[in-house]
Amino acid sequence: MITAEDIGCQVEDQEGRVGILRAVIRDYEDPAEAPGERRKRPTAFLRAEGGGTEWLVPPEHVRRAP
């Protein structure tokens, strides 16, 4: 599992996607969810090294890239 100390490092998620860790937020609430259905959860924010769409995953599903 990664931590805030890994921000800026190359990481790999459980599906094998490789990207740069942009942030780790322990109590993230997804604004796309309805207000009554939002719940706080740990979230890691990753982006492909060359840019592109950011994706979100649980921090326990991310590790430093080999």
Q: How many domains does the chain have?
A: 1
Please give the Cα distance from 12 to 29 (Å, whole number). Answer: 23
The pLDDT of residue 1 is 81
Which tops the pLDDT comparison, 66 or 61?
61
The pLDDT of residue 66 is 84
The pLDDT of residue 59 is 97
Q: Is it the case that residue 15 has pLDDT exceeding 90?
A: yes
Residue range 31-57, pLDDT digits in tens = 999 999 999 999 999 999 999 999 999
For 21, the domain range is 4-64
Surface-to-core class of residue 2, CB atoms within 10 Å of its CB (0-12 exposed, 13-18 middle, 19+ buried): buried
